[in-house]
Structure 1
């Protein structure tokens, strides 16, 4: 779409804005949402450049984008690509990232040295990641790996599947009660679990507990009514108070910042064990660096925790000789819990909401606070 010389403007005619989308999906994957944007914003030109996805992080964002398009762009939609400097995009009003976080862009000159607002796609990941969290927890609690191995050996041994812990009455502690944590809470409550939430700042009032970000319709906890208790703080004492609450499933859904790096380490695993000797199961769908991986391996080997489901590791990809692969009761997936066939469609809905808010003079949704890192 787009491209070609621009016709001169007639009297009273507005110059068309340019939405430059550089994304690792074929345009067809988001054609419905793009069509909706073009219908609602007829003065917006959309130019879509598909980027070849790479397994290697250092190769992502390496795509040729014509300088003329960079210069004209008013809104940029991206996952990994950014221009060399902010001077390449003098007309950019905001940059819509198609990821939940921006830590992968935090050292880029456009992020560090400009005041162009960055917004994220936070809110689109809740359904699929919540399903991954519950799926892996059930795999663990229902001994599915053992049963599957028996199936491959053509063994019919009922005793291997007898020690099942159903989820009714169990407690899930959600560390980071954003859109993902709220959808985990919704599903967990439907299964009869108790939910407790942990946030960086206190949420003492009904209004402060509301989710004011993007929400996939019919999901999440918009009014913040699902947790039976809320905890908060970035200091160790506050975190430790939360971890003492006999948690059966601990879900890590916090952004990776200097405050949350190695948020869980030796002392925290010891506290979890003391509070729940039968074993907390840890689910990490945030970033690998939130956990001290060496301490995690030790906690698994000494049965301080009952197991761990990890969609993220430190580093990524996880080297084949890393001892985490061989730790007991660990389930590792290659950072795919946020994947869904409708990801691009949903992320464009966030962009569409921001286009509306900008048009109507409102505040953009999911604006990144560069000081906080999210």
Structure 2
């Protein structure tokens, strides 16, 4: 008797950019899969449109590749074996029937953002420390400015970077900052007390980036309770990089008490590339306006806010020591290629009976 042929996988892609024929053809040829691609359009400040997907297409799909479009009910996509997210965070998914009513494996795109977001982080550190805002204004006005107006400027050597969430982004930022002469300390949800536990395993890593073995931090801290967090924040942190996922435990993880520690110790500079809801924004504004002599914060660079888009009347826009960008630090021409590389690796893992990479832990929420 001959072998029973395996069912052909049907990959349904619902993504906010045009399809890349090269990438999709490579997957078709390598795995003999059927692919349906639908581009979802969205505008600035608008949510992604709900994809107009016929019931028959949902029923036929065995793998869903998406940013934030999901089947209205678990029953409509009863043949789904895998969902691959084009984002690192799962907050767009956590209230859907797929999350609550199924056990379908979910993988994310953690790791694809490491290089470009880390470059944004370094840009903000240098822009703030070298008074780039003032220099740009001088150029606009054709002014050869007086250097004394710039005040004191400090380079990065000897400064301490505290990385709140030591994932792909935090590890790549640590790699660059370490090369600039900075000290790095890391904070994770769970303890990483052994060399093995500090490795970045089971995740997608862009080649030649990050800290795969977890050897860069001079010290590691952990916990989801405020006492543990405060112990970390008291370690003379000059720059705090926020790169944790938004979960019920991390919402408003940083509020007045935390900014008080950071302000009183080092007048820290805050960088948020994660989610706006991790910060109590009103408290942040209070400490950004507070004089440095009274424990205020040096400044902040925010690629994310709460809400998004940031309302035009938000006081954040007017603060001189704040840089705001509209959630764009992760953009890059290689984004889709890297995210599909994760799917490619997992299709091979499925074929060979191996564990999936970038598998989301529903209990942790990431």
In the superposition, the TM-score normalised over structure 2's length comes to: 0.94
Q: 1:56 to 1:192 in 2, by over 3 A?
A: same
Aligned to 2:222: 232
Q: 1:176 to 1:63 in 2, by over 3 A?
A: same
Q: Distance in 2 between matches of 1:140 and 1:55?
A: 27
| Structure 1 residue 238: Cα displacement | 0.7
State the SS of the aligned residue for 2:128.
helix
- How many residues in Structure 1 have an aligned counterpart in Structure 2? 359
Q: Distance in 1 between matches of 2:357 and 2:335?
A: 18
Q: 1:257 to 1:11 in 2, by over 3 A?
A: closer
Q: 1:169 to 1:22 in 2, by over 3 A?
A: same
> RMSD between aligned alpha carbons?
1.6
| Structure 1 residue 159: Cα displacement | 2.4
Q: What CA deviation, in whole Å up to 9, does each residue of 1:141-167 have, x standing for no partner?
A: 000101111111211123234632111
Query: Could you list the runs of 5+ residues in structure 1 that have no partner in the other structure?
Result: 1-9
Whether 1:76 aligns to 2:43 is no
Whether 1:334 aligns to 2:330 is no
1:151 equivalent among 139, 143, 147? 139
Contact 2:253 2:279 in 1 (8 A): yes
State the SS of the aligned residue for 2:7.
coil
Whether 1:286 aligns to 2:278 is no
Aligned to 1:360: 352
Q: Distance in 1 between matches of 2:158 and 2:48?
A: 44
Q: What CA deviation, in whole Å up to 9, does each residue of 1:31-80 have, x standing for no partner?
A: 33323322321x211221111133345x4141211222211111110011
Whether 1:348 aligns to 2:358 is no
Whether 1:313 aligns to 2:305 is yes
Whether 1:38 aligns to 2:28 is yes
Whether 1:102 aligns to 2:90 is yes
Q: Distance in 2 between matches of 1:151 and 1:55?
A: 29
Whether 1:199 aligns to 2:188 is yes
Aligned to 2:362: 370
Q: Distance in 2 between matches of 1:287 and 1:345?
A: 24
Q: Distance in 2 between matches of 1:295 and 1:90?
A: 45
Aligned to 1:3: none
State the SS of the aligned residue for 2:186.
strand
Q: What CA deviation, in whole Å up to 9, does each residue of 1:169-202 have, x standing for no partner?
A: 1110000000110010011111111110000011
Aligned to 1:263: 253
Displaced runs of 4+ in structure 1, greater than 6 A?
none
| Structure 1 residue 274: Cα displacement | 2.3
Query: Could you list the runs of 5+ residues in structure 2 that have no partner in the other structure?
Result: none
Contact 2:263 2:287 in 1 (8 A): no
2:112 equivalent among 103, 108, 124? 124
1:214-233 to 2 correspondence within 5 Å?
Answer: 214-233=204-223
Whether 1:115 aligns to 2:103 is yes
Whether 1:17 aligns to 2:37 is no
In the superposition, the TM-score normalised over structure 1's length comes to: 0.92
